[in-house]
Chain A
């Protein structure tokens, strides 16, 4: 079937006709409707963005505290140590239980409350309807509900620090039996996760319906910007992968609250005593259910980032993306494959060779589409006269960082090499290269790129560059040594960073260096935050399409577009998303709505 043929286009134009008269039906809304219980996708996107940035900062702060303990084990934290209670930091020295709480909540907050809400909730919400030429999301009230449910989940997670014995300590993976016999914080974690899962599900239904149903006339699937495709596949992953974790969370709650033994083997001994439970359950069941979600989840963390980078690269190379269709097919293939690789996280559980072989093969296969997408982005640079704008710097840096993260993942996908590397700092280094120098850089790129559409002003370039170089260098300073430590055999989740292990003697000294980089990384964020908030009022004013981009969001006027309206007239799309430097054209870009 071919999309966007002449006939189809006229069809859908007349299909949308009824609404043409309604354009400009915009009324001023009361304060609480406009800013608090907002239903406009752009305001919800901003709510998500601010909340997610807050949580990213929170998760990062936890890590800065932990990095002190790793660099100087057992020494009191200077200046701020006294702020903490005696249960967590007597005399300013972090106790192991508190280290574990911070570690588990760092992971949980970064993944579920920071990166995904920023990548999907904020960017997806704000940009997707604009890029497909829609007035809003398909279900605005549901959209509002997703945000507030997410918000509640965040509150529950933060509140869990204040229950007896503090927050969850069993890691972001919450493996039983440990998680089952944990203190109350773990119950809070499970309840918080249920909120976050519900929020994601509502969001996913909304995104998919919006993309399938609300594309403007002429916006056929293969005229959608790559970013929209990335959000589309991401929404499918959220829709189908999260429910099994919700099921697992029910089962773990039942184990903890009503004494079932779904994850508890018979005869389990805790503190020298056999537990009085029915037994017969399996801790591996949790691992399967958890990773069935959590592998697709890593693609949820990375695909929107790839989408952002693709937009910015096409815009700043002034060329069409190389292999757009191939990249889209790769995306779809990758999305489908991501459901059958999960047990590569479980090679050390003693699975049989047949099962091991299956998951190794699927893991090697799934690396192919990722490589195709990354290669497509790299090849797009070929022969371009690039504009090194601030968003472009971040987008360019994403490419090698994601490359490092991806390549170091291959040894983890093969059982013989994974078995010694499993649960070492090498793994931490690997996935942080994907999510921190990878996704986080891409998210910054997106913020610099779309800020002018949201506020009508640009972020300052000078401070943007300082922010870029500081972040880029520090991130590598933190995560590169992790590979070395991991290869030397240092485990993750160690309270003292390996100081008491002989074999770590040659590599523990890196801990101090890594911690210093982490704190400098914090300093490098100061120009960003000042820039971010000052530029709302003081930034340089720009026109509606400051980057001279082709995609529809830049044709939406005024800037920012009106709530629930977005476009003055329903846009009609006549061409693909990246018609830059079209030969014989008078300008070097041709917007999608230009006949």
Chain B
């Protein structure tokens, strides 16, 4: 007996198993980042100054420590990659596999672009002696953005799988494959949304 509703949606719930599964997983992810955001608020409320003293300097605003232009660029990159992954899925819906590869490839490239810029930001912090142990501002900055970067890497792995070995499924069961891309897309949107919260909270406020 095969497991029902792996491809087709169950009539009374309107979703297939994988789609429900990813929504539930994302709910837990919200709680994970929610926990860290609460920690951020808790530490910030308790701190006399924020960001405060770091590597011998006093900072009054986060934007004096972190690079807002680079982060803004990164925001656009991620939003762009959210668009391309939707296009990838839409191409599959229209049976255009060639276009799917193009858009999925673009999504992965954009994700790498994000990581490279993040890397530049990190190295410039380190070169100025701004390590996570310097202050709780830096600590929570590195933990939150680091965890987010791990999610980006996870997304790259998943998406690369669906660009490479995973495509076999397209030939045998295109609907199943399209569903999977939709699910991967939901995850990728989540990674994007987390950044959209992270950016103003850490860099601007």
Interface residues of chain A, those whose CB is within 8 Å of chain B, are: 8, 11-12, 15-16, 19, 22-25, 134-136, 138-140, 201, 204-206, 208-209, 212-214, 239-248, 250-251, 254, 258-262, 277-278, 280-282, 285, 288-289, 292, 564-567, 570
Alpha-carbon separation in the docked complex, A258 to B15 (Å): 44
Alpha-carbon separation in the docked complex, A80 to B194 (Å): 55
Partner of A8, one of B3, B12, B143: B12
* Known contacts A208-B24, A250-B143, A278-B135, A213 near B1 by CB under 8 Å: no
Partner of A281, one of B10, B38, B136: B136
> Contact between A19 and B4 (Cβ–Cβ < 8 Å)?
yes
Alpha-carbon separation in the docked complex, A386 to B114 (Å): 67
> Contact between B27 and A240 (Cβ–Cβ < 8 Å)?
yes
**Chain B residues within 8 Å of A247, by CB:** 32-33, 35-36, 39
Q: Is B94 among interface residues, defined by CB-CB distance under 8 A?
A: no
**Chain B residues within 8 Å of A240, by CB:** 27-28, 31
> Contact between B32 and A246 (Cβ–Cβ < 8 Å)?
yes
Chain B proximity of A284: nearest CB distance (Å)? 8
Partner of B2, one of A12, A135, A258, A567: A135
Cross-chain pair count, CB within 8 angstroms = 153
> Contact between A138 and B139 (Cβ–Cβ < 8 Å)?
no
**Chain B residues within 8 Å of A278, by CB:** 133-136, 139
Chain B proximity of A556: nearest CB distance (Å)? 11
**Chain B residues within 8 Å of A251, by CB:** 36, 39, 143
Alpha-carbon separation in the docked complex, A260 to B131 (Å): 9
- CB contacts under 8 Å to A, within B147-172, are 147
* Known contacts A260-B136, A260-B139, A277-B133, A205 near B3 by CB under 8 Å: no
- CB contacts under 8 Å to A, within B14-29, are 15-17, 20-21, 24-25, 27-29
Chain A binding surface SS class: helix
Q: How large is the interface on B (under 10, 10 to 19, 20 to 34, 35 or more residues)?
A: 35 or more
> Contact between A138 and B3 (Cβ–Cβ < 8 Å)?
yes
* Known contacts A240-B28, A248-B35, A289-B35, A564 near B133 by CB under 8 Å: no
**Which of the candidate stretches B40-48, B77-85, B97-105, B196-204 sits at the interface with the other chain?**
B40-48
> Contact between B139 and A209 (Cβ–Cβ < 8 Å)?
no
* Known contacts A136-B3, A251-B39, A282-B42, A260 near B24 by CB under 8 Å: no
Alpha-carbon separation in the docked complex, A214 to B1 (Å): 12
Chain A proximity of B147: nearest CB distance (Å)? 7
* Known contacts A11-B11, A243-B31, A247-B36, A19 near B43 by CB under 8 Å: no
Partner of A262, one of B13, B16, B21, B43: B43
Across the A-B interface, give the 4 residue pairs with the lowest CB-CB distance, nearest first.
A244-B35, A247-B35, A259-B133, A243-B32
Chain B proximity of A218: nearest CB distance (Å)? 11
> Contact between A205 and B143 (Cβ–Cβ < 8 Å)?
no
Q: Is B129 among interface residues, defined by CB-CB distance under 8 A?
A: no
Chain A proximity of B149: nearest CB distance (Å)? 13
Q: Is B88 among interface residues, defined by CB-CB distance under 8 A?
A: no
Residue of B42, B47, B131 most packed against chain A (CB within 10 A) = B42
> Contact between B28 and A242 (Cβ–Cβ < 8 Å)?
yes
Q: Is B111 among interface residues, defined by CB-CB distance under 8 A?
A: no
> Contact between B35 and A292 (Cβ–Cβ < 8 Å)?
yes
Chain A proximity of B194: nearest CB distance (Å)? 13
**Chain B residues within 8 Å of A292, by CB:** 35
Alpha-carbon separation in the docked complex, A282 to B46 (Å): 8
**Chain B residues within 8 Å of A138, by CB:** 3, 17, 21
**Chain B residues within 8 Å of A261, by CB:** 133, 136, 139
> Contact between B34 and A214 (Cβ–Cβ < 8 Å)?
no
* Known contacts A22-B1, A204-B24, A282 near B43 by CB under 8 Å: yes
Alpha-carbon separation in the docked complex, A138 to B5 (Å): 9
* Known contacts A213-B10, A251-B143, A278-B133, A139 near B21 by CB under 8 Å: yes
Question: In the complex, which residue of chain B has the Cβ closest to the Cβ of A142?
Answer: B21
Residue of A135, A136, A204, A209 most packed against chain B (CB within 10 A) = A209
Alpha-carbon separation in the docked complex, A523 to B42 (Å): 50
Alpha-carbon separation in the docked complex, A134 to B10 (Å): 14
- What are 10 inter-chain pairs, A to B, with CB distance below 8 A? A8-B12, A135-B4, A208-B20, A240-B28, A241-B31, A246-B35, A248-B35, A254-B142, A262-B139, A277-B133
**Chain B residues within 8 Å of A134, by CB:** 3-4
Question: In the complex, which residue of chain A has the Cβ closest to the Cβ of B34?
Answer: A244
Besides A206-B21, A209-B21, A243-B29, 18 more A-B contacts (Cβ < 8 Å) are A12-B12, A15-B8, A204-B24, A204-B28, A205-B21, A212-B13, A239-B31, A243-B28, A247-B32, A247-B35, A250-B36, A251-B39, A258-B131, A260-B132, A280-B46, A280-B47, A285-B39, A285-B43
